Amino acid sequence: MGSKIGKLHRLFDTNFLEYTSYVIKERAIPAIEDGLKPVQRRLLQTLYNMDDGRFHKVANVVGETMKLHPHGDASIFAALVNLANKGFLIDRQGNFGNIFTGDQASAARYIECRLTPLAKEVMFNKDLTEFTESYDGRMVEPVTLPAKIPMLLLQGADGIAVGMSTRILPHNFIELLHAQIDLLKGEEVELYPDFQQKGLIDITDYNNGNGKVRCRARIEETNEKTVTITEIPYGTTTSSLIDSIEKASKSGKIKVTSISDYTAEEVEIEVKLPRGIYAKDTIKGLYAFTDCEVSLNSNLTLIKNDLPETSSVDEVIQFNTDKLVKDLTHELEIELSRLNEKLHARLLEQIFIEERLYKQIEEKKSYKEVLSTISSSLIPFREELNRDISKDDIERLLEIRIKRISRYDIDKQAKEIANIRKDIKLVEKSLKDVISYTIDYLEALVEKYGDFYPRQTEITEFKEVVARKVALSNLTMGYERTTGFFGHTIKANGEDDISFQCSEYDRLLLIFNTGKYKVIPVPDKLFVGSELAYAAVLKRDVVFNMIYREGSENHGYVKRFKTPKFILDKEYELFSSHKRSKILLLTTGEDKHARVSLVPSQRAKSNIVEIDFNDYLIKNPSAKGRRVSTRVVRRVVESTERVLKERANMPLPGMGPVIEQPPEPNDSQDEE
């Protein structure tokens, strides 16, 4: 009896392990290489096999996919609709449901689909694809698709397997490709989720893909008695959101009169309020007690080297970037081999026809003699060819028709051979610097498809946003230059000291004369030193106008930038650090002017340069800017008077005549 129970246990253990492995690898967890689950991969391969440029009935696509998929049509149809609604790989025609309202797609016989141009460009290459037999051995299917972009992070994934689960949040197309470019350039990258439902996101605890994010709906105050929800959090629908509002209303947590859903292509939920209740207070209640704010846990579990493992965003983007370099290298090598073979064939044909070698076989009686004659006649031309002449080469020459020989255009063939050699040189050049080739490839993808995939979700800090709406600016921040202390317990008394009002929930931007800057929370008392040039409450889209000295060159530069992005308490640089580098003037806002005094020169007509900051483009905070003059800057003061037009048209030292719309600065004037 005991032996039978033991055998039964072993049978259960074996079968359970096999089932577990199957569910993990074949159903629930995506692969790191192409970011797809097996059913999604089979769908895309089927669409590629069927592709003729036109739309196909989804029912037909599902039926064709069943030749590769061991399960029924319901799972294939659900996977296709989900993949199509992500908006990257499958074009839709018909009702595929609504990601905002949660409405279901129409039946498979009524809707159509096809591959997008992006999918055809970045997901398929037979030369790079490893195939395996399908479940019944009648067909072959790809092990993974040779994806050239990080699809795992682009689309995201959800899956529940036996003993493990995965939830990978989607990211932005442009940001992912820029991150790969930065990695290839040796720079650090930071990536955060981006959702089709838009909304707001707090990424404080994202933890490189294995933490959590908080998502909020975007709520607008239409009037004091009406609020409108225009964007919803990821993972919710307008139906689930309205249900949560009604539940909160019934429990007395918030008070509403009516809820109207006008959602179609864009979200629009209108909430009416009763007498005595105002929009400003209701918005806070919606975030506190309804699904207008949700928390999403992220768990980056994937299949790598045929085994499940937990990875991170940085590791995935690095893996996909390294894989892209290898794949492009392999493609270039294959292309080079094909071009060399093509050149070899064209050269053989040219020699065979132009040297009239075909006349040597006119009197030959056997096929063996013909082959031998052609082979020996080509020996003097061996140095002109890429490789030795094979029997297949000779047989291809003998297959040339008389009609083609009689119409042979020498000039045209010479031109084609020259073009092939030109293509070979381009491929060889790319192979010598594959990293630059890869960067160019990614930049071309961004330029071609980037406009279709802008960032949808706004990254922000919820505590900051909510607190500022209710907090009073009751703190007076002070900076005392003589002691170097900054905080709301410090009083500013001197002429060079700084003082302004803020609330305890504000974030403060500090910019130092050395070009360093950082964003900090409101401090009681903090030592910042004597080089503080600017301190104020952080506000978005503030335009900064700066003139600074670049220490290593001892030249003055002008630059404009908007409020920079930041990580709290992290120090950044506006220009390269050098002991002689220094901010000479820093102002904010539009219509600002400055007067720059240059070191006198006998040949110069004037030692003054008038600066109108509006003439300079707003660039990245780390951009170098445009040089003021070839001469050394001695002093800079802010000018309160607008420069007269007549004076503006006068030639300035080190510059040509000033024009009303200055041309774009070239690389030597403005460097990123």
Average pLDDT rounded to a whole number, residues 435-439: 95
Strand, helix or coil for residue 214? strand
> pTM for this structure?
0.65
Cα of 548 vs its chain's centroid, Å: 32
Residue 85 has pLDDT above 90, yes or no: yes
Condensed to tens digits (0 to 9), the pLDDT of residues 377-409 reads 777 888 778 777 888 877 777 777 766 666 666
* Cα–Cα distance, 41 to 30 (Å, whole number): 10
Spatial strand order of the sheet with 90-93 comes to 56-57, 112-115, 90-93
Confidence of residue 464 (pLDDT cuts 50, 70, 90): very low
Confidence of residue 280 (pLDDT cuts 50, 70, 90): confident
Structural tokens at position 518: 């950082």
Strand, helix or coil for residue 104? coil
The Cβ of residue 232 has, within 10 Å, a number of other Cβ atoms equal to 28
pLDDT of 112 reads 96
The Cβ of residue 86 has, within 10 Å, a number of other Cβ atoms equal to 15
Fold of 321-450: Topoisomerase; domain 3 (1.10.268)
Average pLDDT rounded to a whole number, residues 313-335: 95
Confidence of residue 652 (pLDDT cuts 50, 70, 90): very low
| Domain 212-297 part of CATH 3.40.50.1100 | no
Residue 60 has pLDDT above 60, yes or no: yes
Same fold, 212-297 and 321-450: no
Residue 310 has pLDDT above 80, yes or no: yes
> What CATH architecture applies to the domain 459-648?
6 Propeller (2.120)
**Which among 22, 48, 110, 408 is annotated as catalytic?**
110
Residue 185 has pLDDT above 80, yes or no: yes
Nearest to 596 by CA among 537, 540, 553, 643: 643
Average pLDDT rounded to a whole number, residues 516-525: 92
* Cα–Cα distance, 598 to 239 (Å, whole number): 66
Fold of 2-173: Topoisomerase II; domain 5 (3.90.199)
Roughly what angle, to the nearest 10 degrees, separates helices 238-250 and 279-289? 100
Nearest to 658 by CA among 668, 646, 672, 671: 646
Average pLDDT rounded to a whole number, residues 328-332: 95
Sequence spans of domains, the chain: 2-173, 212-297, 321-450, 459-648
pLDDT of 24 reads 65
**What is the amino acid identity at position 93?**
Q
What letter does residue 383 receive in the DSSP assignment?
G
Average pLDDT rounded to a whole number, residues 12-41: 74
Q: Is 234 one of the annotated active-site residues of the chain?
A: no
Buried b (16+ CB within 10 A) or exposed e, 297-310: ebbbbbbeeeebee
Q: Output 628 or 354, whichever has higher pLDDT.
A: 628
Average pLDDT rounded to a whole number, residues 416-442: 93
Q: Output 152 or 385, whichever has higher pLDDT.
A: 152
Percent of the chain with pLDDT over 90: 49
